[in-house]
Structure 1
Amino acid sequence: MANRLSSSLRLALLVIFFTSFSASAAQYNVLSYGAKPDGRTDSTKAFLAAWTLACGSISQSTIYVAAGRFLLQNVEFKGPCKNNAIVVRIDGTLLASTDYRVIGNAGNWIFFQNVDGVTVSGGVLDGHGSGLWNCKQSGKNCPSGATVCPWSIF
């Protein structure tokens, strides 16, 4: 009887362990998708690849941005997502191009659209704003820069 109880207890503990392990948050490191922390290589596709996986996951997800400087062109992180618990954890710096005109007709550098429950934590967003600010002061038609629309993330 003691052996049967001991075996049942071990089996129950294994089931609990593997269930809690498999329910943990999915992790997507942008480096795994080709992002380069050198400040010169365009990492936009790598960030979008990580976003696509995190947004498509049914479990809570974390997109991890390591230390370093990551160049991003204009990027749209679009939903709806299959979960509402995505964390973008930034330990480095996201860099916009020094030429704000590369945004083109998009009007925004970083844009979250049609998503709920996204948290962006840590890091630095360096939009290289001086050129854009000069454009806006001149009265020209200029992109809006780094924008987060409150109705799209809450």
Structure 2
Amino acid sequence: MNDDELIAGVRAAFEALDPVPDGVVAAGRSALGWRLPSARLAGLASDRAGRVADGVRGGAGRALTFARGGLTVEVEVAGTGREREITGRLVPPSPVIVEVRHAEVAAGGAVGRTDGSGFFCLPRVPAGLVSLVLRFEGGTPVVTSWVRL
């Protein structure tokens, strides 16, 4: 028995005794479609659950901050159950198209645009793993880290 035959036998044994669930394989394949090789990552800098300022619409929620160089994306998440509302702002303000990446949302299915002050709102975002894509006019896109809402 050579190495190739041994590896083939081990692979067959694992496929028979402990196969990879179909959902995991599908998630891995779909993740490749979400890649934006030229995008820059804005990492999660702060996550404060239940500490949204008093008087903010929707009551207690979750406040997230993503940072990349001189760009800060401040996000508030409100809602319970199946859907969330994401409101946020860019610091410094900039005209940007904001797109939600989520397994249940088709590309371009949940999109918003910042106003002159850098504020945006994305209503009815499904609960689950979410990342935002910020598409700057004539610039390199920025993506946020994935977070579970």
- State the TM-score, normalizing by the size of structure 1: 0.23
The structure carrying a bigger helix percent of its residues is 1
Larger radius of gyration: 1
The structure carrying a bigger strand percent of its residues is 2
